[in-house]
Amino acid sequence: MNQPVPKDSPPGPDVTPAGEATPRGSPVPEDSAASTPALADEAPVLTPAILARLAAVAEGNGLLKLGVVRLDHPGFAPARAALDAYVAAGKAGDMDFIPRTVDLRKHPEGMLPGARSLLVAAVPYGGEPGPIARYARSRDYHTVVHQRLIALEAALHAELPGVRSLICVDTKPVLERSAAALAGLGFLGKHGCLIVPGLGSYVLLGELLCTATWPEGHPTAAPTSPPWDACGACTRCLDACPTAAFDAPGQLDPRRCLSYLTIEHRGHVPEDMSEKFGERLAGCDVCQEVCPYNAGLGRNARIPAVAWLPPAPRPAPTVTAMAALGGAQYRGFVRHTALRRIPHRLMRRNALLALGNRTGAPDPGERHAFAAGLLEPDPRVHDAARWAAARRGLDEQALAPELEELRRLREAAAAAAEAREREDDD
């Protein structure tokens, strides 16, 4: 599942990684606090006319379906309760940033004292099925969406000079999918992703937290029906999950999700999960690929060309090449992409597990990758190589020629480096 979060933490409750707040606008008074916001009559007021003008600016900069929701909307209550239950059940796993930021996720005005509203917009992304999730094969959405929000923020300040604001793109602790649904962008599917009519669930979200208030259409009660009612009786996403990671509609256990295991999990991957990796390197789109709301969307001609997330600057290496890729090469590949979140050795771990799920006799490149992994001191890489090689009918004895050649090359490289060092000393 990949609607980062990043992604990207995988959706369960509405969670994303947390970063530092850098508000823009009038300085916060020294005696301000999240618990003591400014008086309502002092807050700048968003109106439908202003929102319409902001939406035009947003669309011109590739931010679609702009909506607004008040932070005191009662519809946030289910998401806050789900977050508490999620953390209490230990579902955050290695994502320790989630328990640390529970209070801010539930009360984002802690990042911007006096905040009252959240402007939310969507950015579509495309791509075909592959070993790397679609969004991660694009230019880093954190940077792209942030740049687009800067233009929207400037327009907001031009409309409401006294407003203060904070750009939020995945790295800020915001219940963003719930906010997007409450702001009218779409609805939450049973896979936990936001489904935007006309765009499907292949969207990224960006927000502006601001001190403006939104008086129009403020609801008096929270929604009473499940947010995935528009899915009807369909359970394709739940049924298609390779690891049965859904406990119920809208309730994902990330510890069984391939997106979490390939991106966030820092340890060894359990063998029963390794077998279900397929040839995935980063992320999993299965629950979105089977969703009827995504059927036939492609690069929809009705979507402005400026809105699409740009492609990554470099093509991805093959799975085989990734399994033996050097650190400098890897850093060059992931630069300017969201894959920077995955450390080099963990990507090699993933690639080796993927090779272990292939069938047939290993080719020379795969044998080389297994041998390189077996020589890796990091136990996560070494153990993945041993498991994968065994799955393909190989052990260290069978890989002796490759191991010997790699040791010889490493010794020669070390000797050359030592010689250069002696020359420098002379």
Phi first, then psi, for residue 387 (nearest 5°) are: -65, -45
Annotation marks residue 41 as catalytic: no
With H, G, I as helix, E, B as strand and everything else as coil, classify residue 410.
Answer: helix
Tell me, what DSSP letter sits at residue 135? G
- Distance, CA of 362 to CA of 273 (rounded, Å): 22
CA–CA separation, 323 and 37 (whole Å) = 52
Beta-sheet pairing, 194-195 with 187-188: antiparallel
Measure the CA–CA gap between 232 and 80, rounded to whole angstroms.
24
- Rounded to an integer, what distance in angstroms lies between the CA atom of residue 256 and that of residue 405? 38
Do 113 and 33 contact (CB within 8 A), yes or no? yes
Cβ atoms within 10 A of the Cβ of 152, count?
24
| Pairwise CA distance, residues 29 & 154, whole Å | 22
Name the burial class of residue 60, with classes exposed (0-12), middle (13-18) and buried (19+) by CB atoms within 10 angstroms of its CB: middle
Phi-psi region of 244 (alpha: psi -120 to 50; beta: other; left: phi over 0): left
The residue whose two tokens read 């999993």 is 284
**Dihedral sign (CA 256, 260, 263, 265):** negative
Which residue among 14, 170, 253, 285 is the active-site one?
170
Beta-carbon contacts of residue 325 (< 8 Å; ≥ 6 apart): 317, 333, 344, 347, 348, 351
3-state secondary structure of 69: strand
How far apart, in whole angstroms, are the C-alpha atoms of residue 88 and residue 167? 29
**Helix, strand, coil % (nearest 5) of the chain?**
45, 10, 45
DSSP secondary-structure letter at 27?
A: P
Please tell me whether residue 357 adopts helix, strand or coil conformation.
Answer: coil
| DSSP designation for 290 | T
Partner residues linked to 381 by β-bridges: none
How far CA 254 is from CA of 25, 215, 226, 264, 331, in Å, comes to 37, 37, 21, 9, 27
Q: Kindly give the pairing relationship between strand 187-188 and strand 24-25.
A: unpaired
Active site residues: 170
